[in-house]
Amino acid sequence: MNKKFLLGTGLAFTLLFSPFGQAFASEPTVGERKQVDNIAHRGATAYAPENTIAGFDLAVDMKADYIEIDVQRSKDGELVLIHDTTVNRTTDGTGKVGDLTFEQLRSLDAGSWKGEQFTGEQIPTFEEILDRYHGKVGILIELKAPELYPGIEEQVAEALKERNLDKPQNEKIIIQSFNFESMKKTNELLPKVPIGVLTSNRAHTTPEALQEFSTYADWFNPSYGIVTKDLVNQVHSLGMQIGSWTVRSQEAADFLFEMGVDAIISDYPDYVDPRN
C-alpha cells in the first residue's frame, strides 16, 4: 500500500498544500521507486532500436525488472518480435509482417534507422528471446494484433510450456494485449500466467468494466493519460495490479509514482530506476 494512504486526513491535507508536501510528492524516495516494477518498453527504446537484442541487452544493463516485447507471426508461422503490423517504420523493408516469410523478415536491417552502430540488428524470434532472457529479467509479452494471427495464443502457450515458463514458480512472465478476447483465451490456456489488459479508453475504467476484467486479468495496464488515484484504488480493490505506459519524460514517471501504480512502462528505464 502507498504509505501516503496511511496518513491521517488532517496531516494529509496539510502536507498536500505545503511546500514540503509538494516537494515530497514530486520526488519519490529511492525506496518507493524500487517498489515499482521498471518495465523497459520494447527494450531501452530511447537509446537502442526497439524489439532488438541490442535494445533488450541495454535494458538488462540498465537494471530493468522486465523487458516488454511485441509478438507477431511470419507468413510461414514463425513467432517474431516487431511492434507495427508492417515492417516499414523499423526496418529497411516494406510490407505486412504476416505477408513476409521468416527468411524475408530475418534478412531485414532492424537497427540502422536508430543509428549506424546498430546496423545489422535483426528481427528476433520469440523463442530466442525466451531462451536468452528468462532467468535474467522478467518478460512482459504483448500479443500485437492477435486477430491477424489465428492460433497465436496456442503457439505462445506452447513455447512457454516447453520451457516450463507456464508456472508461477518460474521466471517472471506476463502476457498482455489490447484484444480482450485474446486475453480470455490466453488465460484459459495458461491459467497460472498473469494476464494483462491494455487500454487508452476511459470507457474501460468504469466499475463495471474493471469488474469484468478482474474475472480473467491480473493486470490492468492503461495509458498514463487516464490514470488517477481513484482508478489505481479501484484496480487494487479488485485484486489486480496496474502498470502504465508509455513514459517518455521524468515528469510522467514522477506522476505515476505519485499515483501509486505497480509498474511503469518506459522508453527510458533510467527515469524509473534511481540506480541509473
Question: What CATH number is attached to the domain comprising 253?
Answer: 3.20.20.190
Cα 55 from Cα 209, distance rounded (Å) = 35
Query: Total structural domains in the chain?
Result: 1
Q: Which residues of the chain have pLDDT under 70?
A: 1-34, 170-171, 274, 276
pLDDT at 22: 40
The residue written with cell numbers 498536500 in the block is: 16
- Residue 25 in any domain: the answer is no
Cα 243 from Cα 259, distance rounded (Å) = 11
Q: pTM to 2 decimals?
A: 0.88
Return the C-alpha cell found at 198.
491494455
In degrees, to the nearest 5, what angle opens at C-alpha 244 toward C-alphas 34 and 158?
Answer: 95
**CB neighbours of 39 closer than 8 A, spacing ≥ 6?**
64, 65, 66, 67, 68, 138, 140, 243, 263, 264, 265, 266
pLDDT at 275: 74
- Residue 11 in any domain: the answer is no
For 178: left if phi > 0, alpha if psi spans -120 to 50, otherwise beta; the answer is alpha
- Residue 9 in any domain: the answer is no
What does the DSSP assignment read for 142-181? Answer: EE-SGGGSTTHHHHHHHHHHHTT-SSTTSS-EEEEES-HH
Range of the domain at 215: 37-271
- Residue 170 in any domain: the answer is yes
Active-site residue, selected from the candidate residues 41, 134, 204, 236? 41
pLDDT at 15: 37
Based on the residue annotation, tell me whether 204 is a catalytic residue of this protein: no
Q: What is the SS3 assignment for 229?
A: helix
Summarised one tens digit per residue, pLDDT across range 52-99 is: 999 999 999 999 999 999 999 999 999 999 999 999 999 999 999 999
- Residue 20 in any domain: the answer is no
Active-site residue, selected from the candidate residues 83, 134, 204, 236? 83
- Residue 27 in any domain: the answer is no
Based on the residue annotation, tell me whether 134 is a catalytic residue of this protein: no
CB atoms within 10 A of CB 33: 18
Dihedral angle over CA of 181, 183, 188, 189, nearest 10: 120
- Residue 28 in any domain: the answer is no
